[in-house]
Amino acid sequence: MKLLFDFLPIVLFFAVFKVAEGNPDAAAAFATSHFGSMVSGGIVDAKIAPVLLATLVVIAATFAQIGWLLARRKKVDTMLWVSLGLVTVLGGATVWFQNETFIKWKPSVLYWVMGLAFWASQALFKKNLLQVLMGEQLKLPVPVWRTLTLMWIGFFALMGLANLWVAYSFSTDAWVNFKLFGGVGLMLLFMLAQGVYLSRHLAPEEEAATTSGEAPRP
């Protein structure tokens, strides 16, 4: 359930973009009528309307996620706050300037912020952030925690680069497909590979516990 909750804004972004892309003129008219005051010039171009509407939805969805967690008095992950800040600033720039470049940078910046957080906690503060997050579920030697952290740093760095490569090398439609299917698929494959690595270092009774652990928010 948590995984579905985390990926809900991405799914909504994809769905709204695909619906609007199928009828860009109607999408532009709708966006101009309801959100024209949020756009420079007041008129939404049909070419940008699908991304603009999808961006507005993902901003609203991220606010709704945090509101839901706060209403239930649950902890809001730091990265969810970071994601909200990025999607509000970069998404807002996309809407105002009618330029999809800003929102396309958001996943890369978020990946790199997460990778930087993992690196800084280890290099500057001598704390393994991954161990802090998952240490109660997993008992591992210090070198294994260090290796896992390096794996996550490398993954986040590569995912940020992959997002920009797709964004600048292919159409916006292809980027939206990659954002959902490519990003989620690669995350699941990486977690599977990490699970295989972990299985070498876990006692038999601890292996079952890994299924309940939570991965860092994508």
DSSP character string of 64-122: HHHHHHHHTT-PPPHHHHHHHHHHHHHHHHHHHHT-THHHHHHHHHHHHHHHHHHHHHH
State pLDDT tens for residues 143-187: 888 888 999 999 999 999 999 999 999 999 999 999 999 988 999
In a domain, 176, yes or no: yes
> Is there a single domain that holds both residue 38 and residue 119?
no
Identify whether residues 107 and 162 lie together within a single domain: yes
In a domain, residue 94? The reply is no
Final residue before a domain boundary, out of 58, 87, 116:
87
The structural domain count of the chain equals 2
Are residue 125 and residue 215 in the same domain, yes or no? yes
Q: Using the 3D structure, point to which of 44, 66, 87 is the last residue of a domain.
A: 87
Q: How large is the average pLDDT for residues 186-200?
A: 87
CA-to-CA dists, residue 95 to 32, 77, 85, 179, 212, angstroms: 11, 26, 15, 19, 39
Alpha helix (H) residue ranges in 124-141:
129-134
Q: Show which of 42, 59, 87 is a domain's final residue.
A: 87
Q: Is the pLDDT of residue 58 over 50?
A: yes
DSSP 217: P
Note the pLDDT of residue 218: 46
pTM for the predicted model, two decimal places = 0.85
Same domain, 210 and 105: yes
Q: State the chain's mean pLDDT as an integer.
A: 88
Determine the structural domain holding residue 68 and report its residue range. 1-87
